[in-house]
Amino acid sequence: MKERFNFRGGSLMMLVTGVAILLISSCYYPRTKPGWEYMPDMAHSIAYETYTANPFFPDSINAIQPVARTIPRGVYMPFHYSANISGYDSAGLYLRFPSWLGEKDLEEGKRLFGINCAVCHGYGGLGNGSIVVNPKIKNPYPPPPSYFADNLINLPEGKAYYSVHYGKNLMGAYSKTLDHDQVWKVVYYVKSLQKHHQDSITAKGATAIAIVDTTKK
Amino acid sequence: MRSLPSTCVRIIYTNRFRKFIASIFILLFLVPFSGYAEVSATAGEKAFKQYCTSCHQVNNKLVGPALKDMHTRRTEEWLIKWIRNNSALRATGDKDALAIYEEYNKNEMPSFLSFTDDDIKSIIEYVKVQSAAPATQPGAAPGTEGAPADQPSFWLYIVVGVLVVITFLLMRTNTVLKRLAYEKIGEELPEERPLLSRLKTKRAIAFYVIAGVFLLGFTLADSAMRLGRSKNYKPVQPIAFSHELHAGINQINCLYCHSSAEKSKIAGIPPVSTCMNCHKAIQQGESEAGTAEIQKIYAAFDKNEPIEWVKIHNLPDHVYFNHSQHVAVGKIACQTCHGPVETMPELYQFTSLSMGWCINCHRQTDVQFGSNNYYSMYTELHEDFKSGKIDKVTAEMMGGTECQKCHY
């Protein structure tokens, strides 16, 4: 009878256990440290990696620009039009689509457009991208012009290339993320969007005239 | 209705009717006056968004000056001249025009020769309406404030504290009740041994030993399993960048910022100039804290200093991994390895990145064999695939689990 009433020792044990459980569970992950590792001497690169600091360069940045007046191998091509209004105008006059570009590149152009341009310009090019027309954000991006308005519908491809390469007005430069060929594919896709738009307008006009004609008869 | 007296119905009817007639008159009276300004401003809005917003905002200075209250600063006549052909206006030696040209580093505004006076007036009208509207202030946005959801919150500590107090109260009650129970049966309360001696009983010592072994074993096994793994690693980044806001809500493609993921070994951290593609115009965040974070981009941009992001997904140096191989060739979605990044306010490592995890995927994932020219050299596999000998091709069949593929 005496023993049955003696709960005190038991509750103390429970308390100790409870505190221990709390202590263990308080070591929660997600964590801000990567944790321990085994044999770190083989896990870490001796050579400086792309984004690590490099003490041999004055600004300690390892990812440096190519030496001046050199170009990297591959698809990069120098762009000879200067970044001002006269460069813009002469690009419009003299820069033309390269000969290799064709219908086969439309799909890739569309994909690249979807990644890089549609955020602002919208998938249809109307200037209604997801950061411009977005009810969930309070400070949407100022709307870019529609590709189909009279000031852009007949934009020469050279000017379009210039705008993607250097950026234009609020638009940033994409020469760092898209290479020469990719910019051309995007421009080709945009011009095809505009052509399709104009064709549909002329087609609509034609059908409207046809309807008017039939009523006259 | 039948129980209502007919006079009552009539009164209601006539009152409503009168109000209706009156409102029609008011509307008829108002429409001609309000309509003109309204139509002009909406036409202006369309033109403003097409031609102006890529350089100008009403309240902020962007590529060109802020346009707020421009109708009070300049005459309408001057504005029409400037907007239609600013270089012609500058050629006449207009002082204001030349001052603006100099202020913006001789960055020329394009001419809009095709605009009629009415077009320009409608734009001015729109800016006038917008200038009168209060500027949008950044305020609290849902989901951007408060403690991150996965950290133990303040409230949890309070709940634990309350529970501890309740436990002690219950223990006190228990002793009192026990004493009362003993008094009732007329027996004496058994003598309480002092706390220290109770902690030294055989049972207590046995408990310590068992608990200790359990704790040590748990810690040892747990740390051994996590050795060299950093799943859920979530370092504090120099800027509180939210992938949820950018990739989720704003639907910016992963490759917009990490463009080298399909071109090179590394996915790449976007340079500050990529941030500036949008943040040249987006200067205010969804909350005040957000605005403060955006300021850090400008600080880095102005000083031409890199932002020192903390790398989360670390592979040991003796493992070769190539992003372009997986993204461009294998067409693996980013989320397969990085998890639902578009829902993460703060980025963390979603997968273990262990070798077993790599091998599993190489064994199980169906390679897009038929449609991808990259694999055309595997003629034997292609033949087997066509003849139906194998129903799918995994990376393992192409040597994707051989040691030298990743360790060399």
Q: Which two tokens stand for residue B30?
A: 């108002």
Max mean pLDDT range (A39-43, B105-109, B354-358)? B354-358
Residues of chain A with C-beta less than 8 angstroms from the C-beta of B151? 28
A164 within a domain of the structure (yes/no): yes
Yes or no, beta carbons of A38 and B285 under 8 Å apart: no
Residue B82 parent element (H or E): helix B76-84
B11 within a domain of the structure (yes/no): yes
Residues of chain B with C-beta less than 8 angstroms from the C-beta of A154? none
pLDDT at B145: 42
HSE-up of residue B136 (Cα within 13 Å, Cβ side): 16
pLDDT at B366: 84
Residue B233 DSSP one-character state:
B
Q: Which of B50, B170, B321, B347 best tests the A interface by mutation, with the highest count of A CBs <10 A?
A: B50
A153 within a domain of the structure (yes/no): yes
Max mean pLDDT range (A78-92, B85-99, B154-168, B362-376)? B154-168
Q: Which two tokens stand for residue A61?
A: 């940045």
- Exposure string of B152-165, with b = 16+ CB inside 10 Å and e = fewer, is eeeeeeeeeeeeee
Yes or no, beta carbons of A32 and B215 under 8 Å apart: no
Yes or no, beta carbons of A2 and B190 under 8 Å apart: yes
Q: Which residues fall within 8 angstroms of residue A179, CB to CB, at 6 or more apart? A: A74, A75, A76
pLDDT at B363: 92
CB B273 within 8 A of CB A172: yes
How far is residue A122's CA from residue A133's CA, in Å, rounded to a whole number? 9
Whether A31 has a pLDDT exceeding 90, the answer reads no
Whether A73 has a pLDDT exceeding 80, the answer reads no
How many domains does chain A divide into? 1
- Exposure string of B44-53, with b = 16+ CB inside 10 Å and e = fewer, is bbebbbbbbb
Q: Which among A34, A143, A170 is the nearest to B280, CB-wise? A: A170
How far is residue A166's CA from residue A153's CA, in Å, rounded to a whole number? 20
Round the average pLDDT of chain B to a whole number and report it. 80
Residue of B4, B112, B98, B113 whose CA lies nearest to B56:
B112
The nearest alpha carbon in chain A to B304 belongs to A59
CATH of the domain at A105: 1.10.760.10
A3 within a domain of the structure (yes/no): no
pLDDT at B268: 85
Residues of chain A with C-beta less than 8 angstroms from the C-beta of B269? 51
Amino acid at B249: I
B325 within a domain of the structure (yes/no): no
Query: Same domain, yes or no, for B163 and B113?
Result: no
Q: Quote the minimal CA–CA distance from A215 to chain B in Å.
A: 34
Residue of B334, B402, B399, B404 whose CA lies nearest to B367:
B399
B115 within a domain of the structure (yes/no): yes
Residue A53 DSSP one-character state:
B
Whether B111 has a pLDDT exceeding 80, the answer reads no
A109 within a domain of the structure (yes/no): yes
Query: Same domain, yes or no, for B22 and B75?
Result: yes
B216 within a domain of the structure (yes/no): no
pLDDT at B24: 62
Residues of chain A with C-beta less than 8 angstroms from the C-beta of B49? 127, 143, 145
Query: Same domain, yes or no, for B165 and B62?
Result: no
Question: B317 and chain A: CB distance < 8 Å anywhere?
Answer: yes
Q: Which residues fall within 8 angstroms of residue B264, CB to CB, at 6 or more apart? A: B322, B323, B324
Q: Which among B141, B229, B280 is the nearest to A172, CB-wise? A: B280
Amino acid at A147: Y
Yes or no, beta carbons of B230 and A34 under 8 Å apart: yes
Residue of A62, A35, A146 whose CA lies nearest to B51:
A146
Yes or no, beta carbons of A30 and B273 under 8 Å apart: no
How far is residue B7's CA from residue A137's CA, in Å, rounded to a whole number? 55
A122 within a domain of the structure (yes/no): yes
Three-state SS for B27?
helix
How far is residue A110's CA from residue A117's CA, in Å, rounded to a whole number? 10
A6 within a domain of the structure (yes/no): no
The tens digit of pLDDT for each residue in A119-145 reads: 999 898 888 888 888 888 888 888 888
B179 within a domain of the structure (yes/no): yes
Residues of chain A with C-beta less than 8 angstroms from the C-beta of B114? 150
Query: Same domain, yes or no, for B17 and B127?
Result: yes
The whole domain housing B72 covers: 6-132
A139 within a domain of the structure (yes/no): yes
Residues of chain B with C-beta less than 8 angstroms from the C-beta of A36? 223, 226-228
Q: Quote the minimal CA–CA distance from B347 to chain A in Å.
A: 10
Q: Quote the minimal CA–CA distance from B103 to chain A in Å.
A: 16
Yes or no, beta carbons of B281 and A141 under 8 Å apart: yes
pLDDT at B294: 92
A2 within a domain of the structure (yes/no): no
CATH of the domain at B25: 1.10.760.10
Query: Same domain, yes or no, for B44 and B122?
Result: yes
Higher pLDDT, B100 or A101: A101
B385 within a domain of the structure (yes/no): no
Question: B212 and chain A: CB distance < 8 Å anywhere?
Answer: no
For residues B251-262, give the mean pLDDT: 91
Q: Which of A29, A112, A147, A174 best tests the B interface by mutation, with the highest count of B CBs <10 A?
A: A29
**pLDDT band (50, 70, 90) for residue B33:** very low
How far is residue B31's CA from residue B37's CA, in Å, rounded to a whole number? 10
Question: B234 and chain A: CB distance < 8 Å anywhere?
Answer: yes
Query: Same domain, yes or no, for B174 and B117?
Result: no
Residues of chain B with C-beta less than 8 angstroms from the C-beta of A168? 54
For residues B12-40, give the mean pLDDT: 56
Question: B286 and chain A: CB distance < 8 Å anywhere?
Answer: yes
Least confident span in A48-62, A174-188, B135-149, B292-306 = B135-149
Residues 90-129 of B with CB under 8 A from A: 108, 112, 114
How many domains does chain B divide into? 2
**pLDDT band (50, 70, 90) for residue B39:** low
pLDDT at B169: 94
Query: Same domain, yes or no, for B117 and B22?
Result: yes
Query: Same domain, yes or no, for B128 and B10?
Result: yes
The whole domain housing A179 covers: 85-216
Write B55-63 long-range contacts (CB < 8 A, 24+).
Answer: B55/A169, B55/A170, B55/B109, B57/A142, B57/B281, B58/B127, B58/B130, B58/B131, B59/B135, B59/B136, B60/B281, B60/B283, B62/A142, B62/A170, B62/B280, B62/B281, B63/A169, B63/A170, B63/B104, B63/B107
Question: B295 and chain A: CB distance < 8 Å anywhere?
Answer: no
B164 within a domain of the structure (yes/no): yes
pLDDT at B337: 92
ipTM confidence: 0.80
B102 within a domain of the structure (yes/no): yes
Whether B7 has a pLDDT exceeding 70, the answer reads no
The tens digit of pLDDT for each residue in B192-224 reads: 677 777 778 888 899 999 999 999 999 899 888
Query: Same domain, yes or no, for B118 and B166?
Result: no
